[in-house]
Structure 1
Amino acid sequence: MNITKTILKKYWNYSDFRASQEQIINSILEGKNVVAILPTGGGKSICYQVPTLVNEGVCLVISPLIALMNDQVTNLKNKGIKAIAITSNLNQEQTIQAFDNLQFGNYKFLYLSPEKLQTEFIQQKLKQLNINLIAIDEAHCISEWGHDFRPAYLKIPILKELDIKAPILALTATATNRVLNDLMTNLKINNAVVYKQSLVRKNLALIISRHEDIYFELTKILKKLSHTAIIYVNSRRRVHDLSIYLNKNGFKSSYYHAGLSNEEKQQAFENWMEEKTPIIVATNAFGMGIDKDNVELIVHIDPPYSLENYMQEAGRAGRNGANATSIVFANNNNINTLKTNFEKGIVTEDFIKNIYKNLNQYFYISYGEKPENLLEFDLATFCHLYKINILKTYNALKLLEREQILLFSEGFNKQSALKFIISPENVLDYANRNNNNLIKVILRTYGGIFDHFIKINESVLAQKLNTSQSKIKSSLIRLEKDGLLNYKNNKTTSQIQFLVPREDNRTINSISKYIKQYNDIKLEKFNAVLNYVTNDSVCRSKLLLNYFDEKIKENCGICDVCKSSNSVLLDDTMLSNQIIELLKTQQSLSSKEIAAQLNQSSFTILKTLQNLLNTNKITLNSQNKLEIVKND
């Protein structure tokens, strides 16, 4: 291990090195396949970087996000280590040059997306490299039970067909036993050594807030902030609105979501990292690859989409070991919104059949035909044309993609911008003479549009005028030709590619059982979130870790439930005995079922249950129901 220690001391802070990382590195150096489940901030990247530098050859890193790949490449380059990411940003000539560098230029790391790995050109180039390790980041994406399932991950075993015999290291921060089994089966590494580090974070207090006036409560919380915070919101529009609200109330914040340009994202990220704006308001597009150890506070304005997402997002706080807090606002209003959005997002087999049929009509595809080329696609225009829900349609497209009926390449375009270049009087005169409602709506919606370029949203304008986004764009282009304005039109880059010939219902019937399974998975994940945010009786850490198949005996002592329990501890022996007897006869029950059968108030039952949990007389099972602790 001497050479490993030398490399560690050269490039990293050796004092931060953990025993679990050393075990993983040793297994890889012995040529073993490894699955490592390490908590967010658990130093996953060092587990493949160190053995790669010990051995001759190149490490192939499969990673899901370009931004994450670029961050890793930058961090390695800053250490003087040669690394490159081959992404869609590189043309053919640049890609060839990159592979020449990897083969002859002493480069050590190659980052690829799972989709890029599937191209024949890349596969042939990989065969020419001396690959000493295959590292698969965010490996939960290979399981349909994992969050952020990516169909392309299922095709990673193509590397074995290319006769690349390097050991595999699969890395993730969130994997239930079911996901772990899927992962090993799909990667064909059932012989892998599994390292699973505890997800317990003793310095992170998990809090659920029931306050109705969220913004008011948030400002009270932020006044106590010493370092940095991330505030997660579930919609892009609210991200922007909340950031403006905070800035108006004396807090320095920036905002981040997938719809911003790369330059805008980078500026927001840098301002936050440098603490020019200590608070960043973001969708869950923000977070992957963040390397900032003094995040003190994570806030979810809306309940998260899944406990996997929540575990990763909350885990970005307190990486320096200092006390940190994760707060989720879960009042009656936003819990009901969560339920409504879930119901709206469920896609039935009939709905998917309808979407598939409309897509073929939209692109004028004949029965039995399969277009070979990529087709430009605007989701908002498509949904407006067929008068269908955009969220439901998006979910249907993602399901069709995962079942390999089509490829849906999402494009998030920069917002368009415009500026009027003639006087307000002349603009109004033109609008009145031509009965142009679009101009009137623009003037009512956007201020300062005569002084400088203002970002606009064609989709919003289309909704206000009950027309399509493409017609709004055409009208603005016409107004530019008439000399009224300058229009910076940013086109969508979304594309669709059909993978099978059109057979309408027959195509969808072939995947009907997977549609049901998809909905079952979504329902299970939704219920887990609902159970977590509505729970007021079980230690939050205990409940959360139970979902990830980790049983802990002691309560955390710092979550809102534990603090409430410590202040009011009921020791009702008779009621405790009644609950024990009830569980002996009925095996497992929820707290609501116990309260109903014993005809007691929820408050009394919950406090007694907490006491029984604290004394290890009852426990939670994998369905988050209560049962008696079985003594071996």
Structure 2
Amino acid sequence: MNTPIDILKTYWNYNQFRAPQEEIINTVINRKDCVVLLPTGGGKSICYQVPALLLEGVCVVISPLIALIKDQVNSLLEKNIKAIALTSQLSQEEIIIAFDNLQFGGFKFLYLSPEKLQSKFIQDKIKQLKVSLIAIDEAHCISEWGHDFRPSYLKLPILKELQPNATIIALTATATERVILDISKNLEIENATLFKKSFQRDNLTYQVIYTENFYGKLLQILQKINESVIIYTNNRKQTKEVNNYINKNNFKSTFYHGGLSFKEKNTAYASWITDQTPIMVATNAFGMGIDKSNVRAVIHLNIPNSLENYIQEAGRAGRDGKESFSIILTNEATIYNTEERFKTTTPSLKFIKKVYSNLNQFYKISLGEQPLELFNFSLQEFCATYKLNILKTYNSIKILERENIILLDENYTKKSVLKFIVSNKHLFNYLENNPSKNNLIKLILRSYGGIFEHFTIIDEHNLSIKLGIKKSEVISILKNLNETGIVNYTYENSNSKLSFLVIREDAYTINRISKNIEKQHHLKYEKLMATISFIRNKTACRNIQLLSYFNEYITENCGKCDVCISKNKNTEITFQILNQILALLSEQSLSSQELSVLLKYNEKQLLNSLKILLEKNKIAITSQNKFKLKL
């Protein structure tokens, strides 16, 4: 294997090798830095993976999301390509072994987050490697004008110091002209070759449908499409509700959100990708690495946070080139609620300070201390302890993460499990002698089926709320039951891990990043309002609107979006009215009121038509204020 075509034929679908990928791959092989802007599904990953397999040495890939890193590494491993992901789950010893494998074991890819790169230990290890290529994925994160700005990306030029001879390729699916300039400038590759593919998708129709009956309209759409679909919702609860609703109406669907376990996510994805359940109902957590060619429609029941997010999600439809649809279901109440939700769930600086202070209290971090260990983290337990709004608190934690104050790894999948290991008779005898445990045991038996037959995942926090006691009391009782041989109980505190990246300085920690936070709040609000403006704009072709946002300017209407269809219908109606008015006036003069009775069109349509005929000098007004045909 010594050509890109050989590599593609061996590991990928050969048909993916198409312009501009061929030119990009050759540019990288010739050791020239480049910035690549390809729409979702445009085949960005092969632009660095193919050259990496041809060049001698390791390819270092920077990616912002642990889930995306794992998805990419698993995909490479399935192809028998050696790849390693550096995550917070690896111990120091495992990291050392990983770098030994990269140096001596023929491994070709090292994936890590920009935060992980800040470690001096990891920087020293990377410096010892023979690195041919550095790939910066989701490169828009380096721009403060990007829709997912991460300050940690601004520190990526350290890679040029560690590996001055490595070629750099920066990749993104969504970037305005300003963001593209920032990518080159901030990565210090200002002479990089720019590859930019148009966002124009001739086979994709954009439609915004106003309706008061979302679910009814959704069923109508699904009946017409009857193929693979992605439905995006506002939240985890709604994914279940929509999934249950369409299942009850005889459609095969599954659901996906960030709160599912790794196994549950894999099961849902496998069921959808194989068309066992061709409809996927999901939050925007579903999307990374999704490459299914026959998705006929992407339907939004929510309003996307930005047009960048929208065009990425919409772009998952019609990758096979066949006619497909991106549909937003909305109404004025939804638009108003979206804007209000943004305002109420966007945390103030005061609230962020409170969350940061509470985190330090929760883990007993002393002033001036920076603990090195990973802490188990339960958002529900934390919010219950300090009586905090869950969504607002989560957004605060993500802001603290974005600003490199803390790191939250939400990809731990261990949860508490329980199984009763005594007979029913033995258990009831035990309850008679231990009445203090009655309420908890009976609640568990009501809440979890099959708990005598197999290990069952349980939620101590929910149990504590239902019983009105502390979570620690529930855990204590379950541990006691485990010790006395009534149950087999394995306790796991959380499916998330949290670490502190800076020393505790309380208010000063937040004060020094306050301008960044306020700037990002303002930018996110502007982006949301741009999306709302797009949805409300019923005069300009949807395709023209979207392309102009990304600095592509065309004048020809698509002719098939909701705006174009509406204009065409109005034009047809107008011609009908004009002809009917002329036919009536050819026989006699008539007032507008008389015409309205005879034609039964609404007043606005009729008056507009009369105005057109007057301007075109086809009719005139008599002294009796009636309209007559002008000869």
- What TM-score range do you get, normalising by the shorter chain? 0.7 to 0.9
- Check the 8 A contact 1:143/1:182 in 2, yes or no: yes
Farther off after superposition, 74-83 or 153-162: 74-83
Q: Determine the C-alpha separation between the residues in 2 that align with 1:318 and 1:428.
A: 61
Q: Which amino acid aligns with 1:45?
A: S
**Distance in 2 (alpha carbons) for counterparts of 1:461 and 1:535:** 48
Q: Secondary structure at the match of 1:281?
A: strand
Aligned to 1:621: none
Corresponding residue pairs, total: 576
Distance across 2 between alignment mates of 1:411 and 1:47: 28
User: What pairs with 1:19-168 in structure 2 (closer than 5 Å)?
Assistant: 19-77=19-77, 79=79, 81-88=81-88, 90-92=90-92, 94-168=94-168
Give the Å deviation of 1:567.
0.9
Classify 1:379/1:105 alpha carbon distance in 2 versus 1 (closer, same or farther; 3 Å).
closer
Q: Return the offset for 1:39.
A: 0.4
Does residue 330 (structure 1) correspond to residue 326 (structure 2)? The answer is: no
SS in 2 for 1:223: helix
Q: 1:330 to 1:89 in 2, by over 3 A?
A: same
Secondary structure of the equivalent of 2:224?
A: coil
SS at match of 2:111: strand
Q: Deviations over 1:373-394 (max 9, x none)?
A: 4444332222222212122122
CA-atom RMSD in angstroms: 3.6
Partner of 1:532: 534
Give the corresponding residue for 1:289: 289
State the distance in 2 between where 1:155 and 1:107 align: 25
Larger radius of gyration: 2
How far is the alpha carbon of 1:363 from its aligned partner? 3.2
User: What does the per-residue CA deviation read over 1:352-378, in whole Å, with 9 as the maximum and x for residues that have no partner?
Assistant: 222233333333344444444444433
Contact 1:205 1:324 in 2 (8 A): yes
Asked whether 1:510 is paired with 2:522, we answer no
TM-score by length of 1: 0.80
Residue aligning to 1:200: 200
Partner letter of residue 392 of structure 2? K
Partner residue, 2:551:
549
Distance in 2, matches of 1:178 and 1:381, equals 42
Q: CA 1:248/1:32 → structure 2, altered by over 3 Å: closer, same or farther?
A: same
Q: 1:409 Cα shift?
A: 3.7
Question: Counterpart in 1 of 2:598?
Answer: none
Q: Quick one: which amino acid aligns to residue 314 of structure 2?
A: A
Q: Match of 1:404?
A: 404
Residues 33 and 193 in structure 1, CA contact (< 8 A), matched pair in contact too: yes
Distance in structure 2 (CA, Å) of the matches to 1:136 and 1:311: 21
Measure the CA separation in 2 of the matches of 1:364 and 1:309.
Answer: 38
Per-residue displacement from partner, 1:535-568 (whole Å, max 9, x unpaired)?
Answer: 3332222222333232232222222222112111
Equivalent residue, structure 1, for 2:393: 393
Q: Which runs of 5+ in 1 are unaligned?
A: 573-600, 609-632
- Which stretch of the first structure deviates more once superposed, 34-43 or 532-541? 532-541
Q: Determine the C-alpha separation between the residues in 2 that align with 1:430 and 1:33.
A: 75
Alpha-carbon offset, residue 267 of structure 1: 1.9
- Kindly indicate whether the alpha-carbon contact (under 8 Å) linking 2:36 and 2:194 is maintained by their aligned counterparts in 1: yes
Which structure 2 residues correspond to residues 430-469 of structure 1 after superposition, within 5 A? Answer: 434=436, 456-464=458-466, 469=471
Is 1:382 aligned with 2:395?
no
Cα shift at 1:148: 3.5
1:247 aligns to what?
Answer: 247
Tell me the distance in 1 between the aligned counterparts of 2:453 and 2:97: 46
CA distance in 1, matches of 2:473, 2:334: 35
Q: What residue in structure 2 maps to residue 563 of structure 1?
A: 565
* Residue 183 of structure 2 is aligned to residue 175 of structure 1: no
Partner of residue 576, structure 1: none
Query: Residues of 1 paired with 2:12 and 2:547: CA distance?
Result: 30
Tell me if structure 2 keeps the 8 A contact 1:260–1:415: no
Residues 473 and 180 from structure 1, CA distance in 2 versus in 1: closer, same or farther, beyond 3 angstroms? farther
More displaced, 196-205 or 67-76?
Answer: 67-76
Is the CA contact (8 Å cut-off) linking 1:380 and 1:469 kept in structure 2?
no
**Deviation at 1:92?**
4.9
Q: 2:512 corresponds to which letter in structure 1?
A: S
Q: How many angstroms does 1:182 deviate by?
A: 2.7
Please state how far the C-alpha of 1:192 moved relative to its aligned partner. 1.7
Give 1:153 shift: 2.5
Asked if the contact 1:422–1:485 (Cα under 8 Å) also holds between the matched residues in 2, the reply is: no
Deviations 1:295-318 (A, max 9, x none): 112122222233222221111110
Answer with 279-288 or 18-27: which moved more. 18-27
Seen in structure 2, the aligned counterparts of structure 1 residues 440 and 533 have a Cα distance that, compared at 3 Å, is farther
SS of 2:328's equivalent in the other structure is strand
The alpha-carbon deviation at position 523 of structure 1 amounts to 1.1
Question: Which structure 2 residues correspond to residues 212-611 of structure 1 after superposition, within 5 A?
Answer: 212-410=212-410, 413=413, 416=416, 426=428, 434=436, 456-464=458-466, 469-477=471-479, 489-569=491-571
Could you tell which deviates more after superposition, 483-492 or 302-311?
A: 483-492
- What does residue 619 of structure 1 align with? none
- Is 47-56 or 290-299 further displaced after alignment? 47-56
Kept in 1: contact 2:31–2:167 (CA 8 A)? yes
CA distance in 2, matches of 1:530, 1:233: 16
**C-alpha contact (below 8 Å) 1:73/1:85 kept by paired residues:** yes
Deviation at 1:207, TM superposition (A): 1.9
Cα distance in 1 for residues equivalent to 2:370 and 2:77: 44
**Separation in structure 2 between the aligned mates of residue 502 and residue 78 of structure 1, nearest angstrom:** 43
Say which SS state the counterpart of residue 540 (structure 2) adopts.
coil
CA contact (8 A) 1:431 1:437 kept: no
Deviation at 1:70, TM superposition (A): 4.1
Question: How far apart are the structure 2 equivalents of 1:78 and 1:357?
Answer: 44
1:589-625 C-alpha deviation (Å, 9 max, x unpaired)? xxxxxxxxxxxx9x99xx99xxxxxxxxxxxxxxxxx
Change (3 A) 1:258 1:540: same
> Using a 3 Å threshold, how does the CA distance of structure 1 residues 46 and 373 change in structure 2: closer, same or farther?
closer
3-state SS of the aligned residue for 1:322?
coil
SS at match of 1:230: strand
Q: Which moved more, 1:557-566 or 1:138-147?
A: 138-147
Question: Secondary structure of the residue that 1:309 maps to in structure 2?
Answer: helix
Aligned to 1:622: none
Cα deviation, 1:185-235, whole Å, max 9, x if unaligned, reads 322222222221111111111222323332233223223344322222232
Are the equivalent residues in 1 in contact too, given 2:377–2:493 (CA < 8 A)? no
- Pick which of 456-465 and 254-263 moved more: 456-465
Deviation at 1:135, TM superposition (A): 1.0
Q: 2:571 is paired with a residue of what secondary structure?
A: coil
Partner SS for 1:250: coil
Cα contact 1:256–1:281 (8 A) shared by 2: yes
Greater shift in the superposed pair: 79-88 or 521-530: 79-88
Uncovered stretches (5+) of structure 2, i.e. residues with no partner: 575-601, 610-631
Residue identity in the other structure for 1:380: Q
Q: 422-431 or 262-271: which moved more?
A: 422-431
Q: In 1, Cα distance between the equivalents of 2:87 and 2:462?
A: 32
- Aligned residues of 2:33 and 2:193 also touching (Cα < 8 A): yes
Q: What CA distance in whole angstroms lies between the structure 2 residues aligned with 1:519 and 1:218?
A: 33
